Every structure is written in structure tokens, then in C-alpha cells.
Amino acid sequence: MQSFQSTRGYGPVDFREALFQGLAPDGGLYVPRDLMRLGTGSVPTDPAFPGSALWAAERLLRDMLPEDLIRTITTESLDFDVPLVEIDDGVHVLELFHGPSLAFKDVGARFMARAMAALTEEGERRTVLVATSGDTGGAVAAAFHGIEGFRVVVLFPRDGISERQRRQMTTLGGNVDAVSVAGTFDDCQRLAKGAFADAALKAKCRLTSANSINVGRLLPQAFYYVHAAARLGWEARPPMFVVPSGNLGNLCAGLLAHQAGMPAAGFVAACNPNRPFIDYLESGEVRPRPSIPTLSNAMDVGDPSNLERIRWMYDDDVSRLRQDVTGVASNDPETRACIGEVYRRTGHVLDPHAAVAWTAMEKARASRAPGASWVVLATAHPAKFPEVVEESTGTHVAPPDTLAATFERAETVTAIDADAHALADLLMDGATA
């Protein structure tokens, strides 16, 4: 069976251990020890995402889980479509927001939740701890809501997410604890990492992670890249993928798919003013910094966790990475202008994160030969950001029924300071309840 190791050397461990540990004991992130391969001689033929996802899962995960378990987990968790919509000639939007929480995080979160449930012994109880800059929390909360034996603790920055994003976490109740942190996403991520690094706390609460630091949430995100590449003709027309980039899990999954054999002309890492990844591409140096609040809040990350994975994948050779990835940054005024311009010209409504990606696509496309195929990843439903979207388009964006329903339920929130002791007390209270 395929084994995993930490980016810092710990291991090997099997998939189950990597899944439940989340962060390795040495502080590193788990990665497959051997390069995954899609194989040759066939491509996905099912035009719908569930079919192409199963095709990719059976190949990428075949050495990690039994075949019947791969099929069960994949078909039960990825039962929604991911449309690839051509907006301009040669420019497509991959709509990743048709899952339960209306965000791309549904793909990884639902797969991971069902994998954990399938691999948990009867009677075991676990606490899933996750930090969110916007959409991760809602997706993880929805994925684990009601699953016996799991408590979900979601940390979100008190003033750093939209009301609709918040309500997707705070109105579920049951086994979901929504925790408002007085700070930024980086504070939330620091608290989560600190909790996992505390061996006694981790053991007592049986902590496991649902952020993209968890390899079980990261790997399934490779499936929708495979889906898009197959829809565009695979080797006949390999696309340039434009990826909204914050904590870099989404980009990392695309690069894994590419290294496994998925054709791609390259990747554009689309960043807002939080651009530590672009700085790394330009300088070869890692320079974490405080995050800056923007309209594309899920990308407001000043110290992206998955940069460590990407550096490991490329042997910390930034010149090699530059051959596959270009970084492009934009600002809030450009985001607003893009949402309005694309809507007026095409009738298509972009959310702020997709607008950052579309802006990056236009900047990158200007320096490339015409005729290339482009795939812009749309990571969240525009109705989750009504203020900026409706102001920019001049039209109302009706929320889907699942989102509207959150306004009919009461919110339950626990507020804490950005303090490790406060989080430890909250986790221990739940562990001993």
C-alpha cells in the first residue's frame, strides 16, 4: 500500500495514520512517498464530474485504500456536478460551487469525512479541528454534521468572513462548534497548528485536522483538474489552469495531478494583495507576513501552509517551480471592476475569488500566443458575497435555497481571544463533556 512521509522527514505511515494525524509529529505535512500515477492508455469519458472523479480516484488512490472502499467513498461524497462553462472563446470557468456548502471545499471535505467515518473503529470519538478563512469552515461543518463519533470545532476570524459564510457554520448546531476568534485567519491557523503540536492535548481530545494540511482533504481536489482536462480533450488541448490562491491547497492539488500525468499547459497562481507565494516565486525566499483583509477573504493568508508541500514536491528548486507556475496579483478595485465588466459583457456572475483569477488570466494571457485553452477556477457561489457582487453588477443574486435557509435558523457561536490556552480549555471542555 502507498505510504506517506512528512515534508520534514517523519514516516513512513499508511493512509489511515496520515488521515487522522493531519499534521505530522515533526510539524511537517504528509505527502505520498512515491509519485502517484494516473496511468496511460485511457482518459475519463464520462462528461459528468462524479464519473471522472471515480476514474481519477481509482487510479490515484489505488495503492492507498481497497478498491471497493475507494468506490464507496467517492460515489457517496462526490454526487454533484462540476460544470465547465465556456465564457469567452477559449476561456472556461470551472464551477466548483455546486456542492452542499456552495464552495470548492465540498470536494475535499466530503471525501475526507466519509473516509474518516469508514476508517474509524466503532465507539471511537474524535475532534475535527479546522481553521477557516471563509469557505473551509462551512464545507467541513456540512461534511461532518451528524456523523456519529465526530465533534467539529471550526475557528474563524471574527471580522474576516461574510455573514453568509458565517451562518453556514453557526446555524448547524449538533456536533458542530463554531468558534469566533478575535484575530485574523493567520491567528486561527496558528492556534490550530499549536493545538496539534501539543501532544497531550492532541491525545486527550483525539484531534484530527480538516484543513488542507490534511492529505485526505488535499488529494481529492486533484479530481476536478482531471475532470476539466478530460473535457477539453486531454493531450489534444491541455489547458492553462488559473487558480485563486491563498493557503495554496488548491494549487498544490493541481500540481499533484499534473505530476501524476494530467496534461496541463501550466498554472497561474492568482493572488490578491496577500502575495507571499508570488514573493517566493520571485525571490526563492519564504517571507511570511501579516494578512491583509480584502474582498476575496478566503485568500487572505500571509503564511500559506501548503507552500511547504509545494517546495517539497519541487525539491525546493524555485526555478523548476517557475516552469509550471506563474504568479499574478491584483487588488480590490480590479476585483470589483472585473465582476462588473464580465457580467455586463457576458451575463456571467463571478464571485470575488473567481474575479481575482479572471483578472490574473487576462494579465497572463496578454503575454502568451493566442489559441491557448484557459480554465478559471470559480471556487464559491457569488451569492455568498452579495455586497460586492450586487454592487459591482447592479443586479440581485438570489441565494440558493440551502444558503437562504441559514437565515431561518438561530446562530450559536463561542467567542475566544487568539490565545492558545483559551482554545485548549474549549477543546478540553468538549473532551470531558
pLDDT over 70 at 275, yes or no? yes
* pLDDT at residue 298 in the model: 87
CA dist 333 to 23, 180, 258, 273, 294, Å?
37, 28, 33, 11, 10
pLDDT over 80 at 430, yes or no? no
CA dist 301 to 133, 167, 239, 277, 296, Å?
8, 22, 27, 10, 11
Nearest Cα to Cα of residue 380 among 397, 363, 394, 392 = 397
User: Crossing angle, helix 163-170 and helix 135-144, to 10 degrees?
Assistant: 20
* pLDDT at residue 18 in the model: 94
- The whole-number average pLDDT for the span 216-243 is 95
The beta-strand segments (E) located in 302-365 are 325-329
Question: If pLDDT is split at 50, 70 and 90, which confidence band does 213 have?
Answer: confident
* Strands 91-95, 84-88: pairing kind: antiparallel
* pLDDT at residue 433 in the model: 45
- The whole-number average pLDDT for the span 184-198 is 90
* pLDDT at residue 37 in the model: 92
pTM of this structure: 0.92
Percent of the chain with pLDDT over 90: 82
| Tens-digit pLDDT profile for residues 343-393 | 999 999 999 999 999 999 999 998 876 778 999 999 999 998 999 999 999
DSSP string of 351-367, one letter each residue: -HHHHHHHHHHHHHHTT
Rounded distance between C-alpha atoms, residue 57 and residue 48, angstroms: 15
Q: Which amino acid is at 8?
A: R
Q: What are phi and psi of 122, to 5 degrees?
A: -60, 130
pLDDT over 80 at 211, yes or no? no
Which CATH number among 3.40.50.10210, 3.40.50.1100, 3.40.1440.10, 3.40.50.970 corresponds to the domain 83-104+221-393?
Answer: 3.40.50.1100
Question: If pLDDT is split at 50, 70 and 90, which confidence band does 1 have?
Answer: low
pLDDT over 50 at 193, yes or no? yes
* pLDDT at residue 40 in the model: 81
* pLDDT at residue 51 in the model: 97
- The whole-number average pLDDT for the span 385-413 is 94
CA dist 193 to 9, 13, 293, Å?
18, 20, 21
The mean of the pLDDT values for the chain is 93
pLDDT over 70 at 291, yes or no? yes
**DSSP type of residue 160:** S
